[in-house]
Amino acid sequence: MTERVSVNAGRLRADVALSGPPDGPPLVLLHGWPDSARTYNALLPTLHKEGWRTIVPSLCGYGQTHVERGPADAAPEDLGLDALALLSALNIERAALVGHDWGARAAYAAAFHAPERISACTTLSVGYDGLSGPDAPLTPAHAQNFWYQWWFATRHGEAALRRNPALLIRHIWQIWAVHPTGDAADHAIAAAQNPDWADATLSYYRVRWGEAEPSESAAAIRARMAQNPIISVPTLLLQGGADPCTPPELSAGKEHRFAGPYQREVLDGIGHFPQLEAPQAVLSAMLPFLAAHSPAQ
């Protein structure tokens, strides 16, 4: 049975779905862009059977989550702080995290900033690679994959984003998913009806490439990461081998960024949405990792 709650979590009034055994170890699942909190639905029954209490919020700018204070800043560090604030709001001292796309970067930021509160991170599709800012060493091919991010830095791209988000979202799902994902694009479009969605999208990508200033909190975490970008939390990265957006080479060779246990698995033939395109493969890799690093230990 799923319980929907609305909680004050830092700057957000967060919409959260709680399900699974009430006394199970907590597992927070963070979705990506352009997506919705329903992206993990295929994983939840098995996670519950294995004893996990799942906590699935809508991120800043999505669904019924609303920004109560300040602008809709959505840099990964902002989203990571949101996740930590959610734990505090729910009186959870320590949890495991799962994050896809934006959620992956949020999980890395949370694990870096407060490792004592995160028992393990499972990240999907996005490596802890630091590929951002005007000096990022991207190839022309990789820059081509990120066309939408450059577009959002222009007035034309912003106008198109605000005018017809559904058109963009359907196009993204058509080009990023290698295997069928059911009605996931419809759920993503519904989640984007939030009045903060466009602002959050523009914030995330403009800050990423130095076209806008990060929030004060995000800037402080970035400064620490620049000095010592090492994550000590056990981390499992699951990467689609045929991902048209973030291909496997972008997440390869990052072992030196982890002081704790680190695993990376490439799922052959899978696109940008492993949790939807190959849920059983994701569960097969994730469950033993989570069991080995439960917050209850």
Give Dmax (Cα) for the chain. Answer: 51
Residue 13 domain flag: yes
Mean per-residue pLDDT of the chain: 95
Instruction: Report how far apart, in Å, the C-alpha atoms of 284 and of each of 107, 280, 289 are.
Output: 21, 6, 9
Assess contact for 239 and 272: CB atoms under 8 A.
no
Does residue 1 surpass a pLDDT of 90? no
For the stretch 139-162, pLDDT in tens is 888 889 999 999 999 999 999 999
Residue 297 domain flag: no
Does residue 129 surpass a pLDDT of 80? no
Does residue 261 surpass a pLDDT of 70? yes
The CATH number of the domain holding residue 225 is 3.40.50.1820
For the stretch 161-187, pLDDT in tens is 999 999 999 999 999 999 999 999 999
What value does the mean pLDDT take over residues 251-275?
96
Burial class (CB in 10 A: 0-12, 13-18, 19+), 98: buried
pLDDT band for position 135 (50/70/90)? low
**Distance, CA of 66 to CA of 63 (rounded, Å):** 8
Residue 157 domain flag: yes
Residue 71's nearest CA partner among 222, 221, 224, 206 is 206
Does residue 136 surpass a pLDDT of 80? no
For 29-63, give one letter per residue: b (16+ CB within 10 A) or e: bbbbbbbbbbbbbbbbebbbebbbbbbbbbbbbbb
The residues near 156 (Cβ < 8 Å, ≥ 6 apart) are none
Total of domains in the chain: 1
Q: What is the DSSP string of 7-41?
A: EEETTEEEEEEEES-TTSPEEEEE--TT--GGGGT
pLDDT at 292: 97
pLDDT band for position 14 (50/70/90)? very high
68: domain range?
Answer: 3-292
Residue 30 domain flag: yes
For the stretch 25-59, pLDDT in tens is 999 999 999 999 999 999 999 999 999 999 999 99
pLDDT band for position 137 (50/70/90)? confident
Any bridge partners for residue 66, and if so which? 13
pTM: 0.97
Give the pairing of strands 95-100 and 26-30: parallel
Length of the chain (residues): 297
Residue 234 token pair: 């056990």
pLDDT band for position 132 (50/70/90)? low
Does residue 131 surpass a pLDDT of 60? no
Total Cβ atoms within 10 A of residue 238: 26
Share of the chain above pLDDT 70, in %: 97
Residue 124's nearest CA partner among 214, 19, 35, 25 is 35
Residue 99's nearest CA partner among 79, 115, 113 is 79
Assess contact for 6 and 16: CB atoms under 8 A.
yes
3-state secondary structure of 227: helix
Instruction: Report how far apart, in Å, the C-alpha atoms of 177 and of each of 39, 111, 148, 273 are.
Output: 13, 28, 16, 6
